[in-house]
Amino acid sequence: MAATLQAVAQAVPTVKLLIDGHFVDSKTTEWKDVINPATQQVLARVPFATPDELEAAIASAARAYKHWRNTSVGARKRVMLKLQEIIRRDMKKIAECLTHEQGKTLADAEGDVFRGLEVVEHACSVGSLQMGEHLEQVAGGVDVYSVRQPLGVCAGITPFNFPAMIPLWMFPMAIVSGNTFVLKPSEQDPMTTMLLAELALEAGVPHGVLNVVHGGKTAVDTLCTHPEVKAVSFVGSTAVGHHVYNLASTHDKRAQCMMGAKNHAVILPDASKDHSLNALVGAGFGAAGQRCMAISVGVLVGDAARWIPDIVEKAKSLKVTGGTEPGADLGPLVSKAALARVHSLIEMGVKEGAKLELDGRNIRVPGYPDGNFVGPTVFSGVKPEMKIYKEEIFGPVLCLLAVDTLDEAIAFVNANPFGNGTGIFTQSGAAARKFQYEVDAGQVGINVPIPVPVPYFSFTGSRGSKLGDLGPYGKQAVQFYTQVKTVTARWFDDAVSAGGVHTTISLK
Residues with a known catalytic role: 292
How are beta strands 254-258 and 180-184 bridged, if at all? unpaired
Asked if residues 330 and 287 have their Cβ atoms less than 8 Å apart, the reply is yes
Tell me the C-alpha distance between 299 and 264, whole Å: 7
Tell me the C-alpha distance between 127 and 129, whole Å: 6
| CB within 8 Å of 199: residues ≥ 6 apart | 83, 86, 87, 90
Tell me the C-alpha distance between 421 and 474, whole Å: 17
Tell me the C-alpha distance between 431 and 373, whole Å: 39
Asked if residues 195 and 222 have their Cβ atoms less than 8 Å apart, the reply is no
Tell me the C-alpha distance between 16 and 47, whole Å: 8
3-state SS, 334-362, equals: CCHHHHHHHHHHHHHHHHCCCEEEECCCC
Percentages (nearest 5) of helix, strand, coil residues in the chain = 40, 20, 35
Per-position b or e across 36-64, b if 16+ CB within 10 A of its CB: bbbbeeebbbbbbbbeebbebbbbbbbeb
Tell me the C-alpha distance between 83 and 201, whole Å: 9
Tell me the C-alpha distance between 219 and 410, whole Å: 41
Of 285, 289, 332, the residue nearest 36 (C-alpha): 332
The radius of gyration of the chain from alpha carbons, rounded to an integer in Å, stands at: 25
Q: How far apart are the first and last CA of the chain?
A: 75
Count Cα atoms within 13 angstroms, Cβ side, for 304: 30
Count Cα atoms within 13 angstroms, Cβ side, for 401: 19
Tell me the C-alpha distance between 162 and 171, whole Å: 14
